[in-house]
Structure 1
Amino acid sequence: MKRRQTSFPVLTSRPARIAMAAAVLAATGALTVTFVSSGGNGTADAATSLAQFVPIQNVRPNVRHPRPTAAASTGRFTVNCGTNGNGKFSPDNPVAQPGIKNGAEHVHDFVGNLAITADSSDADLDASGTTCRNGDRSSYFWPVVRIDRTVRSGGEVQRALSETQPAVVCPSVRDRLPAVPVRVRARVDRLLADLDRLEAAANERMTASRGRIDAGINSRVLGSLRTRRAILIKDIGAAVTNTGGERPGMVSLVDCDVSYDGVHAAMHGTAHAASIRAGQVANPQIQCPTVRDKLPGVPDQALAEVNRNLDELDRQISEAGERLVTSRGQGGAAVVDNAVLGPLRAKRVAALDRIATAIGRQGTRPQGLDALAPCTLNPAPAAPATPGGAAALPEPQGPDFELPGNTGGIVRPAKVLIEYRGNPVSKVVPMPKFLRTLTGDAKPTSRGPANARATWTCSGFGDRLSDKYPICPAGRAVQRVHDFPGCWDGKNIDSDNHRRHVAFADKTTGACPQGFRAIPQLRITISYNIPRSVQAKGQYALDSFPEENHNPFSDHNDFINVNSARTMQRITTCINTGKRCS
C-alpha cells in the first residue's frame, strides 16, 4: 500500500501568492473561494468564513425535474444502511485514490461495507459484512461535517500555502500487480521505472505553480500524465496476461492528482498536537507491509497458487479491519493484539510461506518474506517535513479523528436516506457489480469547477440547492443532497479518470447521452441536527483537502456497488414498474 508523502520540502517563506483559479471560477459564476483561519481547539487550523454561509430563504428555487414520458421508470428503492453508528471513519478514498492510504487528507463517514479500505479488492468487498439492513454490501461514503465554535479570522492557511510546493501523487502500480511471470519480470520492471520517471517529470512541471494554486497548470500536467500512464499501464497488463499471468485490471490506477500536502506539513507542528485528546471514537486502521511489490518473477507453474495467496493476504487484512469495526469497545490494546493483530500475523506467516514454497518448487525460493507478516494499527503522526527530506502525512488522531486543518467534533448524521431512482424517458438496466462512481469534486479550486455540484439545503426546501453552507430556519435540518450519474456506458465498471464510464442525464430532457444506458440513479440525502446558533455563527464545516479550506462547493460522495445480482434485479424491477420498495 502507498501512503501520501510530501514530495518536496517546505520552501523558504515569501509573500503569499494564492491564485484560486480565479479566472476559471469567475467565468462560471460558480464560486469565489476565500481562505481564512480558525482557532480550531485553540490552534491555527483552517475553517470557514461567514461569506460561505447563506440563509436558505435567500437561495432561489433552482431544482427542476424533467417531465416523465410514457416510457419513464418512476419507481424508487430505498436502502437503510444506518448513520455510521459503528464509527467507521477513514481518510482513504477507495474510488478516487485506490491504494493510497490517507489519500483524501480528510475524513469520510462510511456506511454499508464494513471491510473497505483503500486496498480492498472486489473479492474482499463481496465477502464483507454490512450495516445495510437488506444485506447490501455496497460502500457509500462522504466527508464528515464538524463543529468548531472557536472560529477566528487570520492568515495561517495563506502563509502555509505560500510556502508549499504542489506535488503530483499517483497510485502505486507495483503494490497492485498480480504475480508477474518470470519471463517478463525485467520488462515489467522497466515499465514501472518509466512510470516513476513520468511522475518525476510531472513534479518538475509543478514547480511553475509553487506557492499558489493554478487550475490551468494542474489540468495540463495531469492530462498529459494520464494519457502516458494509460499507455504504460496497458503495456504492463499485456505483458503479464500474454505470458499466462492473471489479468491485472488496473484502469483505476491511471489517474493522478495534485497534492498540497505541504499546507498540512507547515501547520502540523502547532496545529495537530494541540487537537489530540484522550480516547478514540473512530476505529483505527490496520497497516501491513506490501507484498506484491517484493516478489521476484514467478515461474509459470506457480502463478495460480501465488495469486491465490496474494488474494488471501488481502482478504486477511479486510477481515481483520472488519473485526476492529464490529468489536469496538470490547477491550483495550491487549484485546486488539490477541484477537486481531496476533491471529492476522499467524495467517500472514502461513500465506507468505505458501508463496515462498510455490516459487521455490520451480525456481529460487525468495528469502525474508516472513518479515512482512507483522501488522500494526495506525502509527503515530509523522514529523513535519524538514529541508532536504519529506514526511508522511499525520494520521487522524484523537476522539474526533482530527487532521491538521480538519478539527472539531464530528457531527453524526441524524438521518441518511439512500435511494435508487428511475429515469424520466426510459426504463433502467441493472448496474454492474463493482461499479465505481462518484459525484461532485473534492478539488474545485485546484482542478476547476466543471465537476463540482451544489449540494446544500435545508429540510423542507427541496426545491433549491446551494454551493454555500445553509443557515436553516428553526427546527429544520441541514441537508446535503448527492445525486450520482444515472447513465452507464454499458461496458466498464471504472475509467481512467473515474468519471468517463458514467454520465449524468440531460438536465432538461432526462435522456442519457448517446451510447449510454439509464441505470438506477443513486441519491443520498444526509440530514444533520445542527444548533441554529452554530449555523448563524459559521461554526460548522465540511472536512476538505487543505487547498479547499472547507469550501462548501468541494462536497462530494463516492459509491461502489456490491449489491448481489439478485438484489440489483429487484431494484431495477421495482423502479421499472413504478413501485416504492425497500
Structure 2
Amino acid sequence: MIVMSVVGVTALAVGGGALLMTDNNASAAKETPAQQAAARAGMTVKCPDVATSLSNVPQQARPAVNNELAKMDSQVADAYQRLAEPGAKADQESVRTRVLDPLTSERRQTLDRIATEIEKVQPRPSGLDSLAACTVKQDQAAAADAQAAAPNTPAAGNTAPAAGAQGTGGQGTGAQGTGGQQQSGPQRADFVDIRKVKPNVKNPRVQGKGSKGTFSSRCGRNENKHFNSDNVIVAPGVSNGAHHMHDYVGNKKTDAFASNQVLESAGTTCTNGDRSTHYWPVLRLQDGTKEFDAGAPGGGTEGNVGRILRPTSVQLSFKGNPVSKVVEMPKFLRIITGDAKAFTNGTANANASWSCTGFENRQLKDKYPLCPKGSNVVRTFKFQSCWDGKNIDSANHRTHVAFARADGSCQQGFKAIPQLVQRITYKLAPGARNFAVDSFPEQLHKPVTDHGDFINVMSQKLMKQAVSCINSGRKCG
C-alpha cells in the first residue's frame, strides 16, 4: 500500500501561507504601475510537495508517477510566471482566478492520473486529492525591500507583493533578467556577515570502534562546462526536470536520459576512474551577464540569470562513522541531500551549509554569507550516511537512506556507509551580495533551497579500496 504523509498538508493547502491581500479591489485599481509592481514583490506559489508525500510507490508505477510529478513542477512554474507577470493585478480575486484556480484544477487532474497508475498495481491510494490546492506565500524580506523602494505602496499585510519591484541595494526581486524575464531574489535579508555568526559546529566524538579514515575523489571544477537543467534522480527521462541549471563533475554522460548502463560505460573527470556523478545548482553572479542559457528553460526564461561561476575548488570526500565501521555502498545508490523547495516546503529536509574559508566553524542554513577580504564563499553538502541495506532508491528519494543520530549511530535496520561530503568554494568580492544559487522559479533563489545530488558508479574494486581506507583510519585519494 502507498504510505502518505498528509497530516497537516490539508491545513497548509487551505490556510497555510494564506493570501496577504486586501479585499478592497477598488483600491488596487487606483494604484500606479510602480505601486502594483511593488505590491507583487515576494509573492510566490506554495503547493504541498506531492513527491515527498509518496513514500511507497510500487516499482512498476514509478516511471509514470515520476513523469506526472515532473508535470506538477512545470505547472507550479507556469503559475508562478502568471503571478509575476508585469502589470498583473495583485488583488485577492485576480490571483485566485488567474493563478490558483487553474493550478488547482491542473494538479487535481495530475493527482488522479498518479492514483490511476498506482491502482494498476495495488489498491488505489486515498487522500491524494487533498494535495491539489495551493496558496500564495509572501516573502516578508521582499515585501520590506519593495516597500522601501516604493514608499507609497500599501503596507505588507494589506497587499501581497509578487515579483517585479527592484529591491534596495540592487538586490531585490524583479532585477531585470536576460531575455526580458524578471529575476526574483535574493533579498538583502538573505545575507549575513559571517563574522557576526557565532561558532555553531558540533561533531560527535569518534569512539574506539569508529572509522576515522577519509577517501577522496579528485574530479575537477567542471572545466568541461557540463551543464543542464535535468535531474536524472527525481525526473528521469524529462528534459528540464529541475527548472534550474546544474553543475556536474565526475560522470560525463549525466543527463535526464542516462540509464545505469550509460553511466557505467561513460567517461569521467575523476582522476581515479570513479564514474560516480555529482551535481548541484550553479551559483551565479547577478551582474547582468547574458549567459548561454539566457533564453532557455532552466535559465533566463525561469528567472535564473547572470554569469555562472566556476568553483575555485571542489572537494569530494567520503568519511567514516564515529561509532562503527562502514560497509560498501551499493552500485547506483542515489542520494539527494537538502531540499530544492525548502522555501515553500519548510526546512525539515534542508541540509546545505554556507560559510566562508577561515570561518567554517560557523555554518548557515538559510543565509548567504558575506565574507571578508581574503576569504572565499563555501558551500558544503554532508550526505546521509545510513542505508537501509536493500534499496538503491526510494519513491520519494529519501527513505532508503537516513542521517545518523546525534552520536553518529544509525537507526535500527540501517547500516553505516561512507559519508559523502561535497565542499565547493567560490572567489567573490569581499561582502558581495550579488550572487545566488539557481532555483525553481517560485523558490526565489533562497539559500535554504540549496542541495546536492549523487549517484554511486564506483567500480566494486574502487569501493572496496575506499571502505578499507576509511575503516583503517587512513587518508587516501
Aligned to 2:174: 37
Give the counterpart of 1:94 among 183, 208, 232.
232
Determine helix, strand or coil for the equivalent of 1:47: coil
1:443 counterpart = 2:325 = no
Q: After superposition, where does 1:35-434 map in structure 2 within 5 Å? A: 36-41=173-178, 44-149=182-287, 280=292, 394-395=296-297, 402-434=300-332
Distance 1:136 1:34 in 2: 45
Aligned to 1:528: 426
Determine helix, strand or coil for the equivalent of 1:445: helix
The CA deviation at 1:434 is 0.2
Distance 1:498 1:87 in 2: 27
1:477 counterpart = 2:376 = yes
- Counterpart contact for 1:116–1:139, Cα < 8 Å: yes
The CA deviation at 1:446 is 2.7
Q: Quick one: structure 1 residues 433 and 449, their matched pair in 2 at CA, closer, same or farther if it must change by over 3 Å?
A: same
Determine helix, strand or coil for the equivalent of 1:140: strand
The CA deviation at 1:449 is 1.6
1:456 counterpart = 2:358 = no
| Per-residue Cα deviation, 1:336-391 (whole angstroms, up to 9, x for no partner) | xxxxxxxxxxxxxxxxxxxxxxxxxxxxxxxxxxxxxxxxxxxx96xxxxxxxxxx
Distance 2:313 2:371 in 1: 17
Aligned AA for 1:129? G
Distance 1:139 1:21 in 2: 36
- Counterpart contact for 1:20–1:445, Cα < 8 Å: no
Determine helix, strand or coil for the equivalent of 2:302: coil
Determine helix, strand or coil for the equivalent of 1:130: coil
Distance 2:242 2:274 in 1: 25
Distance 2:352 2:278 in 1: 19
Aligned to 2:46: none
Determine helix, strand or coil for the equivalent of 1:106: coil
Q: Which one is further off, 110-119 or 9-18?
A: 9-18
- Counterpart contact for 2:290–2:305, Cα < 8 Å: no
Q: Quick one: structure 1 residues 528 and 573, their matched pair in 2 at CA, closer, same or farther if it must change by over 3 Å?
A: same
Distance 1:526 1:437 in 2: 18
Determine helix, strand or coil for the equivalent of 2:249: strand
Q: Quick one: structure 1 residues 34 and 68, their matched pair in 2 at CA, closer, same or farther if it must change by over 3 Å?
A: farther
| Per-residue Cα deviation, 1:380-419 (whole angstroms, up to 9, x for no partner) | 96xxxxxxxxxxxx535xxxx5443110000100000000
- Counterpart contact for 1:34–1:49, Cα < 8 Å: no
The CA deviation at 1:482 is 0.3
Give the share of equivalent positions with the same residue, in percent. Answer: 45
Question: Gaps (5+ residues) in structure 1?
Answer: 24-32, 151-274, 283-379, 382-393
Aligned to 1:556: 451
Q: After superposition, where does 1:509-520 map in structure 2 within 5 Å? A: 509-520=407-418
Aligned AA for 2:375? R
Distance 1:480 1:65 in 2: 18
> Which has the larger share of helix?
1
Aligned to 2:47: none
Q: Which one is further off, 429-438 or 110-119?
A: 110-119
Determine helix, strand or coil for the equivalent of 1:20: strand
- Counterpart contact for 2:244–2:302, Cα < 8 Å: no
Give the counterpart of 2:137 among 8, 13, 20.
20
Aligned to 1:542: 437
The CA deviation at 1:22 is 8.7
Give the alignment's Cα RMSD to 1 decimal.
2.6
Q: Which one is further off, 99-108 or 421-430?
A: 99-108
Give the structure with higher Rg (CA). 1
Determine helix, strand or coil for the equivalent of 1:559: strand
Aligned AA for 1:524? Q
> What is the TM-score normalised by the length of structure 1?
0.53
| Per-residue Cα deviation, 1:423-477 (whole angstroms, up to 9, x for no partner) | 0000000000000001000001232221012410001112121120000111001
Aligned AA for 2:368? Y
Determine helix, strand or coil for the equivalent of 2:137: coil
Q: Quick one: structure 1 residues 91 and 514, their matched pair in 2 at CA, closer, same or farther if it must change by over 3 Å?
A: same
| Per-residue Cα deviation, 1:15-62 (whole angstroms, up to 9, x for no partner) | 267743999xxxxxxxxx996221335853223111100000111211
Aligned to 2:473: 578
Question: Gaps (5+ residues) in structure 2?
Answer: 1-62, 96-134, 141-160, 164-172
- Counterpart contact for 2:243–2:441, Cα < 8 Å: yes
Q: Quick one: structure 1 residues 56 and 144, their matched pair in 2 at CA, closer, same or farther if it must change by over 3 Å?
A: same
